[in-house]
Structure 1
């Protein structure tokens, strides 16, 4: 695989990883008001492909945040116990917005790198044709 192909492979893996992260962030935001919902988190891992000698980014399985669920007092809620409390979610919308913003910026940086590599490859091909 050429250096251009390797660079495209690395940036494409970064794009896939950040897209997966955005999926989990959007699920967390969508379920922020769901009783008993636990926030999903993702972690990344660099994996070296021995055939191409290229390290790529992979997303590990999503994990549930085990922090305490919010206790909400609403005696009229169908899930409320005898004290009038029920378990909310542990999603912090400010944290999710920050994660979404970071993932979007990282995605954009990978996309720019992908485009620059593609343009450099195209320019090289044009030079070789002359």
Structure 2
């Protein structure tokens, strides 16, 4: 029974991780036109339990993408320098949509695993009850 509970915990931690990733992707998409905005990147780490990998996932530190921002020419913009350019965001909408789709699919896979483990636990409890 503890293996079934462990599988529930592993899939729940995966869903939490992907939900956080999807939140950061949504923030990136919302700020695609914000001048000076840097894309947020989420990393994942595995949790250790008594010195061994427990299979649980947690979000690592959020980092900012260091790729060059697009330079936009608009001399009337308040952030423009003396040459008339200012830094836009470094968010690529195509990459963000692909990341959102990947996070959604991973979340759905973890949800299916969670549901299967839950159904197996309920079936085991039914067998033990008889």
- The TM-score, its normalising length taken from structure 2, stands at 0.94
Deviation at 1:55, TM superposition (A): 2.1
How is 1:18-97 mapped onto 2 (pairs within 5 angstroms)?
Answer: 18-50=18-50, 54-97=54-97
Deviation at 1:80, TM superposition (A): 1.2
The residue that corresponds to 2:4 in the other structure is 4
Q: Answer whether contact 2:45 2:58 (CA < 8 A) is retained.
A: yes
Q: Answer whether contact 2:46 2:54 (CA < 8 A) is retained.
A: no
Deviation at 1:82, TM superposition (A): 1.7
Deviation at 1:120, TM superposition (A): 0.5
Render the CA deviation track for 1:64-109: whole Å, top value 9, x for unaligned.
Answer: 0011111001122121112111100000000000000000000000
Q: Answer whether contact 2:47 2:53 (CA < 8 A) is retained.
A: no
Deviation at 1:53, TM superposition (A): 6.6
Any idea what SS the aligned residue of 1:45 has?
Answer: strand
Any idea what SS the aligned residue of 2:81 has?
Answer: coil
Structure 2: segments with no counterpart, 5+ residues:
none
The residue that corresponds to 1:112 in the other structure is 112
Deviation at 1:52, TM superposition (A): 9.3
Distance of aligned partners of 1:77 and 1:53 in 2 relative to their CA distance in 1, 3 Å threshold = closer
Distance in 1 of aligned mates of 2:30 and 2:122: 42
Any idea what SS the aligned residue of 1:57 has?
Answer: strand
Structure 1: segments with no counterpart, 5+ residues:
none
Moved more, 77-86 or 45-54: 45-54
